[in-house]
A and B are shown apart, each in its own frame.
Chain A
Amino acid sequence: MALSGMRGLSVFISEIRNCQNKEQERLRVDKELGHIRNRFKNEKGLTVYDKKKYVWKMLYIFMLGYDVDFGHMEAVSLISAPKYPEKQVGYLVTSCLLNENHDFLRLAINTVRNDIIGRNETFQCLALTLVGNIGGRDFAESLAPDVQKLLISSSCRPLVKKKAALCLLRLFRKNPDVVNVDGWSDRMSQLLDERNLGVLTSSMSLFVSLVSNNHEAYWSCLPKCVKVLERLARNQDVPQEYTYYGIPSPWLQVKTMRALQYFPTIEDPNTRRALFEVLQRVLMGTDVVKNVNKNNASHAVLFEALALVMHLDAEKEMMSQCVALLGKFIAVREPNIRYLGLENMTRMLMVTDVQEIIKRHQAQIITSLKDPDISIRRRALDLLYAMCDISNAKDIVEELLQYLGTAEFTMREELALKAAILAEKFAPDLSWYVDVILQLIDKAGDFVSDDIWFRVVQFVTNNEDLQPYAALKAREYLDKPAIHETMMKVSAYLLGEYSHLLARRPGCSPKEIFSIIHEKLPTVSTPTISILLSTYAKILMHSQPPDPELQNQIWAIFSKYETSIDAEIQQRAVEYFALSKKGAALMDILAEMPKFPERESSLIKKAEDTEADTAELSAIKSRAQQQASNALVVTDQHPANEPPQVTQLGMVKIPSINNLENNHVDQEVTQTNGIMGEVEPQNGDILGDLLAIEGPPGVSGTETLTEEGALALAPVGELENAVKPVIDIAERFRDLCVKDSGVLYEDPYVQIGIKAEWRGHQGRLVLFLGNKTTSSLDSVHAVILPPSHLKLELSSVPEIIPPRAQVQCPLEVVNLCPSRDVAVLDFSYKFGTTLVDNKLRLPAVLNKFFHPVTLSAEEFFPQWRSLAAPPLKLQEVVRGVRVMSLGEMTNLLNSLKLIVSPGLDPNANNLVASTTFYSESTQSMLCLVRIETDPADRTQLRLTVASGDSTLTFELKEFIKEQLVSIPAASRPPVLQPTIQPISSSDPGALLAGLL
C-alpha cells in the first residue's frame, strides 16, 4: 500500500477539518485558492511535485462544492507529462474537475489519442478511463475508430480491453453513428465469445446499450447471450474470484438478461428452451437467506429474470408462478424485496393480463400504503392506481381518501390528483364521484388543484340528474364551521346554479342559502369574492317573484363592492347591480350555464404530464387505454402528436377545462351568457356595452377598440369587394404579430377586433365581430383555414349580427409543430345585397409560441456549442436588411420575445438572443440566435440560429430573416413572401397565404 506522499495536502485537509464553521472553511479555502493561483501564475520554481499537490488540493476544494475556475490548464497539462505519476494525476484530476462540456478538454484530445494508440498499456488504461468517464461528442468523433480497433485487437490484454469496451459505450452514447459502422455487429458477436468474465462484463454493458438502440443488427448475438447465462447458471468455468457470495457474477447475469429484453422475441425453439430452463431455475431456486449481500445479489438476478419472463410473455404457468412470487414478496419483512415486489407488480400489469390475480393481493397492497417507508408507499400508490378498474374503484379511492388525511405533504398533491382521476374514470355512479371530489377538497383543499374542482363543476353542469344532489351536498358542507376556500368556491358556484332545485327543503330557501354563503365572505380571498358575487346574482335571479328584503340585502352588497379596489370585483358588482334592476330580463342573461363542449379531461392530461416528468408512467397509460371501454367517463387517450379524437363509448363526455386562466369556469359562465361579451377588461365603458344587448349602444366597444389603434387588418387574397377596408391592414397585421390585442379588420360596416392569450403551445384568441351599422348584418360566415401545424377550433359564429352589436367568438389554438405558415380567417357577410368576403391572416404566428428566456454566459455557450452543425444550427448571410441601429434591432428582437442578452457576445457589433419555443411536437425547446452585423454595411448581416429541432431551426431562421429584410414599398408585408414548403403545400391556409 502506497499512501505516502503529500504532506502539504494532508496538512491542508486537516486544517479544513479543523474549521469550526462554514465561514472559517470558506476563508481557508479562499486563502488556499489565492495561493495556488499565485503559484500557477509564476511557473518558475514550480516543481512537478508542487503541481501535483496543487491540483489535488484544487480537486479537494472542488469536491467540497467550491467553484474552482482556474488551474484547469495545469491539470490538463499534466496529462502530457512523460512520466506515469504525473500523467496519472493529470488524468484523474481532469476527469473529476471538468465535464464533457468544458473547452479545455478539447485541448487534450490529441494527447489522449496518442496515449490510446501508443504502446504503453498503463497509459492506454488512463486515457480510456478519462474518455469513458467524461468524453463528449468531440471525443466520439475523433476517437471511436481507435477505441474500436483496440477492443477487437487480438494482442490487447484484458485490462485494456475491458476499459476499451466501456469507453466505446460512452462514445456510443454521445454519438451512436460512430459505432454503428459496417461489420461492427459481427465484431460485437465475437466479443461475446470472451471467456474472461471481467472483459465479458464490460462487453455485455456495451452490448446492452447497442441492442437497446437497434436490435435488428444483433440477432446473431442472441444465442450467445443464452450461452453466457447457461454457463453462469450452471456455474461452469466460473473462477472463484468471479463468484460473489457464492453466486456466479450476479452482475453479468443481470446484464445478460437485460440485453435479452431488447429482442422482441426468441424464435429458435432450442434457444428458447435453454433460456427458459435457466429462468425456471432462477425462479424456483432463489431462497431468502440470512446473509444480506447474498440475498440482495440473488434477488437482483431473480427480479431481472422476472422482467425477462414478463417480456417474453411466457407460458401461462410460468406467469402465474411470477405473480405468486411477487405476491409473496410484497408481504415479506425485507423492505427492499417489498419495494421491488410492488414495483414489479405494477410493471407486470402493463405487459400482461394478470389484473384478476393481482386483485387478490389488494388488501396487502393497501397495507403497504401505510408502510413507514415513503418509497414503498409511493410504489403502493402507483400500483393501486394502475390496478384500479370499475370493480374495485370504490374501495381503492376510499382508501386513498383515508390515507390523504395522514399522508406527508410531498405526496398529497399526487394522491389527490390520482384519487380524482380514478373517481372520474371508474365512477360506478355519478353521485359517488361528486362525493369523492367534495371529500377530497374537504380533506386536502390545499392540494386540490383548480383543475379538480373545475372538473366537478363541468360534470354537474353536463348531468342534469346530478344537479340537485350536488347542490344538496354543497349545502351540507357549508354547515361545517370551517371550510376550505376551494370548498367555498365550488359550493358557491354549485348553489348559485342549482340551489333553486332544493328550494322546498328545509334550510334551502334563497334567503337561507344566501345568508349561509354570505356569512363566509369575510374569510375568503379576492378571487372567491368574485364568485360569491356571481352566486348572489344567480340567487337573486332565481327568487322570482323577488323577495324585497333579499333583494335589498344583495343590492347593498353590490353597491358596496362597486368601489372595490379590485377591478374584477368592481366590474362584477357594477354589472350585476345594473342587471338586477332589469327585472325579468335578468332571467335570460343569468340563465343556467349551458353544457360544456366535449373535450379531453385536462386532469388526465395533467396526470400524464406529471408522469412524463417522473418518467414512470407507461404502465398507467396503457392501463388507461385498456380500460377506456369500461369507463363511465371517456377520457380520450391519444399519442401526444395526434389531435384528440372523440370516442363514442362514453355515457358522459366532458370538456376539459382550459388551463389558461384560474377562474376560467367562472369566466365561461359569464361569457356564454353573453354578459361579458362587450365587457372585455380593456374597455372602460361597461354600462354602455351592457346596454348594447338591448338597444343601440352608447359609446360602444368598437370605437374604443379603434382608439387602441394597434390593430391591424390583413386581408389575404385579392380584394374584389366593393367594400374597402378603412385601415391599412397589412401594417396592422404586423403590429398584431407583436401585440396581443387590437383591430384585425375594419370597413364602414364591420370591425373585427382580436384579443389573444398564449400559454406554452396553446393559445386562446377571441374575435370580436362588431356591427357598426344600425341594421343587421346577414349571412355572416367565419371559417378558419388552418395550416397543418396549428389545430384551431372556432366556436360557432352566429349568422346574424344585430345592429350595433358585437359578438365574441373564442378560438382555441394548439401549436403542433414549428412552422411559419399563417392561419387564415375567411370572413364574409352581407350588407343589404352586397356580399363582402375577406381573407384575413390571423396573428397566430411563430413568435406567439415563444416564451422569453434570458441566459447567462455559462448557460448560453455550452448549449451553443452542443448544437454544433446543420441541421440543428444554421447560418446564413442575409442581405437587403432594413437599415436600423443595433438598439432598434434589439427592440425588434425583444418585441418578438427573442430576448437579447447584452454583453454576452464579446463583439459589440453582434447580438445574441434566446427564447423558448413551445409546440406539441417539440415540447419546450430552447432556441439560440446570433446576429453578426457589419458596421460598414448595415444592409447585410450574418444570422446563426440553433435549436434542438431541425425544423424549428430552419423556420426560426426564415422567420427572423423575414423580420429583418426591408419591406418593398408596396403594402406587401414580409411575412407574405411566398414560402413554399413541402409540408404545408396542401394546406388551404398556407396556399392562400402564399398567393399574396
Chain B
Amino acid sequence: MIHFVLSISRQGKVRLTKWYSPYSQKERIKVIRELSGMILTRGPKLCNVVEWRGFKVVYRRYAGLYFCMCINQEDNELEILEIIQYFVETLNRYFGTVCELDLIFHFHKTYYILDEILIAGELQESSKKIVHRLIDAQDLLVEAAKEKENTVSYIVAQVAN
C-alpha cells in the first residue's frame, strides 16, 4: 500500500502531499524534511528507490519536480514507479502539457485527479480515459451549479431591489 504521496520541487518546496496513513502535522514535516534531504541530493542515473525507516520510497523526477510514493518493503517498486508516471500523464492530459505552476495554482485540481486514481493508498482506476471522463463530469457539475446559482442570485437581487 502507498502510505503517502509527495511532490517536492528541486528547491524543496512542497507542491502536493497526500497521506493515506495517519501522520500528525509534526511527523509530516519531519518526513518531508528527511526525504527531501535524501532524494533531492541523489544524482541522475541512480535507481528510483530509496530505503528509509524500514520503508521504501519510490520517486521520479520530472523537470524540476519530484514525485514520491512511500510503500512497504515487500511491495512491488516498479509497479509504483509506473503509477507515478500514469498520474503525471493524467495531469498532463488534463492541464495540457502540465508544468509546475499548474500544480501550484490548481493544487485543488491535482487533488481531485489523485482521488480518482488512488484510494486507501491503492490504485483505483488504470484507464486514463475513464479518469478524464470522471474529472470532466465533476467540472461540468460545478459549472452547472454555478450558472444556476448565478441566475437565482440574480433574481433574488432583482426582488430585493
Contact = CB atoms under 8 A, between A and B. Distances in A.
Nearest to A65: B29
A863 to B, nearest CB: 12
Contact of B119 (A167, A304, A613): A167
B126 A201 contact: yes
B124 A84 contact: no
A136 B142 CA distance: 29
Contact of B81 (A296, A373, A376): A296
Interface string B74-104: 0011110111011000000011100000001
A340 B142 CA distance: 45
Given A1-B139, A92-B112, A297-B82, A170 B120 contact: yes
A373 B19 CA distance: 28
Given A85-B141, A198-B125, A336 B77 contact: yes
Contacts of B141: 84-85, 88, 122
Given A3-B106, A129-B119, A166-B120, A258 B125 contact: no
B25 A85 contact: no
B47 A96 contact: no
Interface in A107-158: 122, 128-129, 132-134, 136
Nearest to B47: A335
A83 B152 CA distance: 14
Nearest to B138: A88
B25 A375 contact: no
Contact of B78 (A201, A300, A615): A300
B124 A858 contact: no
B161 to A, nearest CB: 19
Given A88-B142, A340-B77, A615-B54, A166 B122 contact: yes
A745 interface: no
Nearest to A202: B124
A525 interface: no
Interface in B33-91: 42-43, 45-51, 53-54, 73, 76-79, 81-83, 85-86
Pick from A136, A173, A293, A375 the residue with the most CB of B within 10 Å: A375
B38 to A, nearest CB: 9
B109 interface: yes
Given A122-B141, A293-B82, A251 B123 contact: yes
Pick from B81, B111, B124, B138 the residue with the most CB of A within 10 Å: B124
A336 B81 contact: yes
A336 B19 contact: no
A373 B46 contact: yes
Given A339-B47, A616-B73, A2 B142 contact: yes
A4 to B, nearest CB: 9
Contacts of A65: 14, 25, 28-29, 32
A13 B105 contact: yes
Contact of A251 (B51, B83, B104): B83
Given A88-B138, A197-B127, A373-B46, A132 B76 contact: no
B46 A375 contact: yes
Contacts of A252: 126
A918 interface: no
A374 B105 CA distance: 36
B25 A92 contact: no
A732 interface: no
Given A166-B120, A299-B78, A858-B24, A198 B130 contact: yes
Pick from B23, B28, B29, B77 the residue with the most CB of A within 10 Å: B77
A303 B76 contact: yes
A335 B125 contact: no
A2 to B, nearest CB: 4
A254 B78 CA distance: 10
A133 B20 contact: yes
Contact of A375 (B23, B32, B50, B122): B50
B10 interface: no
A170 B94 CA distance: 28
A62 B94 contact: no
A251 B25 contact: no
Nearest to A168: B120
Contacts of B86: 244
A159 interface: yes
Contact of A296 (B28, B78, B108, B129): B78
A399 B106 CA distance: 52
B53 to A, nearest CB: 8
B130 A241 contact: yes
Contacts of B108: 56, 59, 89, 92
A277 to B, nearest CB: 22
Interface size class of A (residues with CB under 8 A): 35 or more
A5 to B, nearest CB: 9
A534 B49 CA distance: 51
A205 B2 CA distance: 12
Contact of A83 (B83, B130, B138, B145): B145
Interface in A237-295: 239, 241-242, 244, 249-252, 254, 258, 293
Nearest to B107: A60
A637 interface: no
Contacts of A96: 17-18, 111
Nearest to A101: B22
Nearest to B96: A1
A614 B51 CA distance: 9
Interface in A593-625: 613-616
B141 to A, nearest CB: 5
Pick from B23, B49, B106, B122 the residue with the most CB of A within 10 Å: B122
B79 A300 contact: yes
B14 A64 contact: yes
B127 A198 contact: yes
A99 B54 contact: no
A254 B83 CA distance: 12
Contact of B85 (A249, A293, A375): A293
Given A64-B14, A88-B138, A132 B120 contact: yes
A789 interface: no
Contacts of B24: 99, 858
Given A1-B139, A129-B115, A249 B120 contact: no
A820 interface: no
Given A166-B119, A198-B130, A258-B76, A338 B47 contact: yes
Contact of B95 (A1, A129, A242, A249): A1
Contacts of A10: 105
A201 B118 CA distance: 11
B77 to A, nearest CB: 7
A163 interface: yes
Pick from B48, B73, B123, B140 the residue with the most CB of A within 10 Å: B123
B119 A335 contact: no
A412 to B, nearest CB: 16
Contact of B47 (A84, A251, A375): A375
Interface in A155-203: 159, 162-163, 166-167, 169-170, 173, 197-198, 201-202
B82 A241 contact: no
Interface in A1-53: 1-3, 10, 13, 17
B145 A62 contact: no
Contacts of B53: 614
Contacts of A159: 130, 134
A162 B115 contact: no
30 contacts: A1-B94, A3-B106, A10-B105, A17-B104, A63-B14, A84-B141, A85-B142, A88-B112, A88-B142, A96-B111, A133-B18, A134-B22, A166-B124, A198-B125, A201-B123, A201-B124, A205-B122, A241-B130, A244-B126, A250-B82, A251-B79, A251-B82, A258-B76, A296-B81, A300-B76, A336-B49, A336-B77, A375-B49, A378-B51, A614-B54
Nearest 7 A/B pairs, CB to CB: A300-B78, A2-B139, A335-B47, A132-B119, A166-B119, A170-B120, A205-B122
Given A56-B108, A296-B81, 16 more contacts: A84-B141, A122-B141, A128-B119, A166-B120, A198-B127, A202-B119, A202-B125, A205-B123, A241-B130, A296-B78, A300-B76, A300-B79, A300-B82, A304-B76, A336-B49, A614-B73
